[in-house]
């Protein structure tokens, strides 16, 4: 029986499972593995802290993921297609592993994050193309 996201161990399970799917995705895997050349041993603990901050109010995450994604978007396409795949894999992971209020919150926050990142990436590209 599934349970809600209760603690940092559940966050770790969620993040590890999700990024395993991301790495295997034909739409996203090359972005993370080849273009961004993610060091997974470093990246995953940052993501544990990121999601623990969102879901539990912990304050251990340091970084500017928006800026990193904007910079990355200049190296490869990051459009509705990539963000839809990211959300699909995230939702699939949540649905497989958890149910409850925090699981729903994680999904809602992921949707907000994806929309915000896509908006800001498109905004940066527009500014760059128009010079404004």
User: Tens of pLDDT along 50-96?
Assistant: 999 999 999 888 888 888 888 898 898 899 999 999 999 999 999 99
pLDDT at 132: 62
- Residue 29 pLDDT more than 80? yes
Pull the structure tokens for residue 36: 């961004």
Question: For residue 27, is pLDDT > 80?
Answer: yes
Whether residue 103 contacts residue 55, with contact meaning beta carbons closer than 8 Å, is answered with: no
The more confident residue out of 7 and 1 is 7
Q: Which residues pair with 3 in a beta bridge?
A: 98
Pick among 3.30.230.10, 1.10.490.10, 3.30.465.10, 3.20.20.140: CATH of 8-130: 1.10.490.10
Tell me the whole-structure pTM to 2 decimals.
0.91
DSSP state of 3: B
């Amino acid at each position: 029986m599934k349970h809600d996201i209760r603690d940092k161990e559940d966050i770790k399970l969620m993040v590890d499972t999700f990024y395993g799917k991301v790495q295997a995705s034909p739409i996203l895997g090359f972005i993370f593995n080849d273009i961004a050349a993610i060091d997974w041993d470093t990246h995953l603990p940052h993501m544990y802290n990121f999601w623990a901050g969102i879901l539990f109010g912990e304050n251990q995450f340091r970084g500017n993921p928006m800026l990193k994604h904007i910079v990355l978007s200049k190296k490869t396409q990051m459009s509705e297609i990539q963000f839809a795949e990211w959300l699909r894999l995230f939702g699939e992971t949540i649905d497989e592993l958890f149910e409850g209020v925090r699981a729903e919150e994680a999904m809602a926050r992921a949707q907000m994050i994806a929309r915000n990142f896509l908006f800001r990436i498109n905004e940066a590209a527009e500014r760059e193309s128009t010079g404004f």
